[in-house]
Amino acid sequence: MSVVFIQSTLQLVAVFAFFMGVLSLAGLLTWVERKQSAVMQDRIGANRAEIFGFRFFGLFHIIADAIKMLTKESFIPAKADKFLYQLAPIISVFFALITFAAIPFGNDLKFGEYVVPLQGLDFNVGLLFIFAMLSIAVYGVILAGFSSQSNFSFLGGLRATSQLLAYEMAMGISIIGLVMCYGSLNLNELVHSQGDYLWGWLPKWGFFLQPLGFIIFLIAGIAESKRVPFDIPEGESEIVGYFVEYSGMRFGLFFLTDFLETILISCLAAVLFFGGWQVPGLFEDGFHFWNGVVWNLPSFVVTIIGVFAFIFKIAFFCWFLMTIRWTLPRFRYDQLMHLGWKILFPLSIANILITGTVILLLS
């Protein structure tokens, strides 16, 4: 059996485990959203679902929700375009999920002569690929609003289109400064570049090089996920958005897409601005402490620590996004457009000019 075949098989297993972890985390976030809001509002939260008398902090609600969506009638409006109506949720969840293929979730895992990349797709334009897939995912929202033949759905789809267009511009431009600093669109190379240090002690993470870019990216990322305070496309207290005519598992796919996009923004924030799997002081041979002491570790252990560090960063940003979700009120539509076009977009352009000037002066 060839080395290449074994490496490819091991990589496939690792990527499959990563995708299963992403889907499991998306399911877990449905519970986190309820419990975190309950804690913030001094309530108990969802805790009624039980198995054999055990409630386990309400975690069984995840299973109950899945069963409900799978068994509930999936209704198709009489005047709807049936093909586009059924295609819309598939487009949304597929292109939200496929973007994770380009996310590096750890350094290369080494087993003797075998080197297993912990990434599904490693190519030179990985960052461009992710933004392209996110742009295509918008079509699912547009088609859902259009194909339902409902005025409320159509209005939600129009809102989503204008919002995502405004904030995709700002989010895409916000990372150009980062690309200028590291000189690559390859996500693996971006993470490896953040393993260096400034002045010998400060990690060369994107956050320290591009603080303004990070703020713009995070705000635009929240808007891309269509979550409060940017949930104008859904507007649950107003028009109930582009998915108002959906039920059953088709609605569940839109619900899943929202959480997948939350996880994706968390992954990108960690990879682009917080070193990905990099841990301060951790090198390929182990930990290097400030006093010159070196704690040598096997390469396998170093990689596993990096993977857990990446998971921790994702969990932190998911918690942070959920906290924002239950803290800030929704923007009015005019406020949302004003923030996107008149504040974030000019700031992202200014960030490029500032970054270019600093690089020119330091070169």
Q: Model confidence over 110-145: pLDDT tens digits?
A: 877 788 889 998 888 899 999 999 888 888 988 998
Q: Burial-class residue 1 by CB neighbours within 10 Å (0-12, 13-18, 19+).
A: exposed
Buried b (16+ CB within 10 A) or exposed e, 268-291: bbbbbbbbbbbbeebeeebbeeee
CB hemisphere CA count around 169 (13 angstroms):
16
In a domain, 290, yes or no: yes
In a domain, 32, yes or no: no
In this prediction, residue 307 has a pLDDT band, given cuts at 50, 70 and 90, of very high
Q: Please write down the HEC assignment for all residues of 141-197.
A: HHHHHHHCCCHHHHHHHHHHHHHHHHHHHHHHHHCHHHHHHHCCCCHHHHHHHCCCE
Q: What average pLDDT does range 291-316 have in this prediction?
A: 91
Separation between Cα atoms, residue 349 and residue 291, nearest integer Å: 42
Q: What is the pLDDT of residues 149-194, one digit of tens each?
A: 888 888 888 888 888 888 989 999 999 999 999 999 999 999 999 9
Q: Is the pLDDT of residue 205 over 70?
A: yes
Query: What pLDDT, on the 0 to 100 scale, is given for residue 329?
Result: 85
In a domain, 223, yes or no: yes
**139 Cβ neighbours under 8 A, 6+ residues apart:** 91
Separation between Cα atoms, residue 7 and residue 232, nearest integer Å: 46
| Spacing of C-alpha 165 from chain mean position | 18
Q: What average pLDDT does range 273-286 have in this prediction?
A: 91
- Overall domain count for the chain: 1
Separation between Cα atoms, residue 314 and residue 290, nearest integer Å: 27
In a domain, 13, yes or no: no
| DSSP reduced 3-state for 20 | helix
Helix ranges, the chain (H): 3-40, 61-71, 82-98, 126-147, 151-174, 176-182, 187-193, 206-209, 211-224, 248-273, 299-325, 333-337, 345-362
| Spacing of C-alpha 95 from chain mean position | 12
In a domain, 154, yes or no: yes
Q: Is the pLDDT of residue 235 over 90?
A: no
Q: What average pLDDT does range 251-267 have in this prediction?
A: 93
In a domain, 216, yes or no: yes
Query: What pLDDT, on the 0 to 100 scale, is given for residue 84?
Result: 93
Query: What pLDDT, on the 0 to 100 scale, is given for residue 291?
Result: 77
In a domain, 38, yes or no: no
For the chain, what percent of residues have pLDDT higher than 70?
A: 98
Query: What pLDDT, on the 0 to 100 scale, is given for residue 161?
Result: 84
Question: Is the backbone peptide bond immediately before 77 cis, with ω within 30 degrees of 0?
Answer: no
Q: Domain residues for 316? A: 75-362
Separation between Cα atoms, residue 352 and residue 9, nearest integer Å: 42
In a domain, 52, yes or no: no
**145 Cβ neighbours under 8 A, 6+ residues apart:** 153, 154, 155, 156, 157, 158, 160, 241, 242
